[in-house]
Amino acid sequence: MSKLEIKSPLPGTFYRASSPEAAPFKADGDSVGDTDTIGLIEVMKTFQEIPAGVSGKAIKFLVDNEEAVMAGQVIAEVEA
């Protein structure tokens, strides 16, 4: 079993849902597809969707909702 990393493409604040009252795009343990959105990065009030970019059977987030992230930081791992 290998683990694939999903990295932040840019620095900003990571959000796991589209709004505070919305359900998360993905929860720990969910399967993911290559084009599935796993979260949003906010930079200067602009939001960018973060696609998984990998497919696998279980995702594990390594950063919390509303946590600041750096470009290239691993935000989640996916079991391949």
* Residues 69 and 41: beta-carbon distance below 8 Å: yes
Over residues 47-74, the pLDDT tens digits come to: 999 999 999 999 999 999 999 999 999 9
Say how many Å lie between the first and final Cα of the chain, rounded: 6
- Tally of domains within the chain: 1
Over residues 19-46, the pLDDT tens digits come to: 999 999 999 999 999 999 999 999 999 9
pLDDT of 1 higher than 80: no
* Residues 69 and 45: beta-carbon distance below 8 Å: no
* CATH code for the domain in which residue 67 is found: 2.40.50.100
pLDDT of 80 higher than 90: no
Which residues constitute the domain of residue 46? 3-79
Query: How many angstroms separate the CA atoms of 50 and 2, rounded?
Result: 21
Query: How many angstroms separate the CA atoms of 43 and 36, rounded?
Result: 21
